[in-house]
Amino acid sequence: MMKHTIITIGRQFGSHGRSIAKQLAKKLGYAYYDKELLVKASQESGLATSFLESMDERQASPFFYSLLAGPTQFMWNDQFISTEAMAYQAQHDTILKVAQEGNCVIVGRCADYILKDQERLVRVFISADLQDRIAHVMERDQITEKEARKKIKEMDKSRAAYYNFNTDQKWSDAANYDLCINTSRLTEEKTVETIQHFIHNLLD
């Protein structure tokens, strides 16, 4: 039975991680999963895509809970489960499924941890210097430096909280990845090439 190669991409907000992951998947001819995971998870679990999006790589906000007009636990698959656990489990199951379907690149969502027992797994983390991230987010989102700095801080904090809560590891800790790259030192194209070379040397 052919073993599939799975590349997971963790990333700091504004580090070009998503763009790099997409280019890498295209170069390798692999399936690409980012927001696409939410759609598949919705189809598989029966949960609304909008619900999964509201919980995507973040803990639920008090405002979200206020909309529920009731307890934050529900009966799902014959078990009482919190909204966070319900969303995480749906994505968890979908990540395991797509990893069995073929070679793929998966962005974020604790995929490196969920697939830790996968034989041909390459775990990558993308970072960048703060000022470069600020400049990128300002240009991409058309916001001020102050707004970009705040957004970066909030998104990184959210991703770290989500990852740390759902795994027994620390988000962005180099010990949890096979390859860490600072994109302030390389172009997107060179970063993709570097990851390709690393995959070749590690697995072939």
Torsion of CA 1, 7, 35, 138, to 10 degrees: -170
Number of separate domains in the chain: 1
For residue 159, being part of any structural domain is answered with yes
The CB-based long-range contact list for 114-119 (8 Å cut-off, 24+ gap) reads 115/6, 115/8, 118/6, 119/3
For residue 78, being part of any structural domain is answered with no
Alpha carbon 12 to its chain centroid, in Å, reads: 10
For residue 75, being part of any structural domain is answered with no
For residue 127, being part of any structural domain is answered with yes
For residue 80, being part of any structural domain is answered with no
Q: Are 125 and 10 in contact (CB under 8 A)?
A: yes
Q: What is the pLDDT along the chain (204 residues), one digit of tens a residue?
A: 458 999 999 999 999 999 999 999 999 999 999 999 999 999 998 889 998 988 888 754 444 444 443 434 444 444 445 777 888 999 999 999 999 999 999 999 999 999 999 999 999 999 999 999 999 999 999 999 999 999 999 999 999 999 999 998 999 999 999 999 999 999 999 999 999 999 999 998
For residue 156, being part of any structural domain is answered with yes
- For 110, the domain range is 6-61+87-203
pTM over the 0.85 mark? yes
* Residue 36, domain CATH: 3.40.50.300
The position carrying tokens 């170069």 is 27
For residue 122, being part of any structural domain is answered with yes
